[in-house]
Structures are given as C-alpha cells and as structure tokens.
Amino acid sequence: MSDLSVFVDESGTQKGMTEYYVVTYVLHNQSDDIAWRIGLYEEALDRKGLPNIPFHATPLMRAHDAYANLGMSHRKYLLMSFNMLVQKLPIRYCSFVYRSREFGDAQRLQSLIRRDLAALLVDNLTYFQSFDHVKIYYDQAQRAVSKALEAAFDYALAREAVVRRELDYRTFRLAQVADYLCAIELAAVKYERGEQTETDVRFFGNRASFRRNWLKQARRKLLS
C-alpha cells in the first residue's frame, strides 16, 4: 500500500489585512524514508552548537518566540541549515500566491484556493491516483484553507482515498518545510516587485543573490 502525504501551510491573513497570501503544498511519498536525513540535519545542528527547535520562518527572521534570544549569526545559520535539509528531502511542492486586492474577504479567498488546488489535482491526476491514500496534514488554522482543501480533494479524488489529519507543525518536519517554502515564495514575489524589506535583504541578500542561492534551489523541488 502506498500513501502520499500532503502538508499544507499558509502565510498571510484571510481577511485581506496583508498584501499577499501564500498557500504551499508539500508532497511526500511515505515510501521514501526521510528519518535518516532529518537525523543528519539534527546532528549537524548539534555539532554547530545550534538549538534544535522547530523551524518557523517569520519568528526566525524577526527574532521572535523561540528565536528571541538568538543573535543574527545563529539565526542565519539556522535558516541555511534548514535550507540544506530541504534540498536533500525527497519531496515536491507547489505554491499559490494571492494579493489581498484580488480576494478582499475569506469567502473569495476560499474560492480562489479551491479553484487553483482543483486544477493542480486534475493536471496531475495520474500521479495522485497512483497512491492508495492521500493524507492531508493541516492544522485547521484558517477556515478558508480548510474548506478549500475539503472541496478540491473531494472534487478530484475518490472520497475513500482522502484521509485528513490534524497537525501540529512543531512535531512534523515536513510541516516546517511547508512553512519554509511559503517564506521563500513570498520573498520571491516581493523581490520580483521591488518590495523586499530590510529583513529580507539581511537574510537573503539582494535580488540576484536571492534568486541564485535560495529561489533556484527551492524550485528544483517544484511539482512539474
């Protein structure tokens, strides 16, 4: 029996209070072992004297929460170390970016997410149908995403093939990967439109550096 995991994360607010809203889907064939790769990543953190804490991009870049007492150099090392882990994992991903002016409210956002996800599933239907079960991991943080996930997967796949799982991102590295890729795709939009912040530049460098060293690496994992 083969199962596909789909880890979902979002960045932004569903009521249009942020300029951009990003939804990322990370796909992992559960037959592909990742435990040993994660083990190597955690061993590397230990060797470098870095804390083994759940990766969370926004708090890391803003020195909030578990990162509040870590200096810039340590937070940069943590970001680079997690980037290296992502490159080595047998995953694929897809992200969609929405502007608040496009949706305005949660209902419209839900409709857009459902449309794009359904199209993604239909375009890759042979791939998704090759698995016995598709297990969706989402923390139910935002209703627009939850309802869109339900509607799109029920539309494209047989109901008995879809399994929904509650998620605490702190206990799943692949949920943290989705968070990381959300941050990269959000930064990509901002750099493309000249809207990068000082924090973006501090961690990713200028536009050319970001595209060469961060975006190019991440998009090797895109679902083709």
Tokens representing residue 61 in the block: 């870049």
Q: Which domains does the chain have, with CATH numbers?
A: 3-32+91-219 (3.30.420)
Q: Using the structure block, give the residue that is written with the tokens 């290296």.
A: 84
Residue 148 has pLDDT above 80, yes or no: yes
d(Cα 34, Cα 64) in Å, to the nearest integer?
29
pLDDT tens-digit profile of 84-132? 999 999 999 999 999 888 877 888 889 999 999 999 999 999 999 999 9
pTM over 0.85: yes
Tell me what percent of the residues of the chain surpass a pLDDT of 70.
96
* Whether residue 66 has pLDDT greater than 70: yes
- Give residue 3's pLDDT: 94
**Average pLDDT value for the chain:** 92
Confidence of residue 170 (pLDDT cuts 50, 70, 90): low
What is residue 168's predicted lDDT score, i.e. its pLDDT? 65
Report pLDDT digits (tens) over 10-65: 987 766 567 899 999 999 999 999 999 999 999 999 999 999 999 999 999 999 99
Q: Predicted confidence band at 163 (pLDDT cuts at 50, 70, 90)?
A: confident
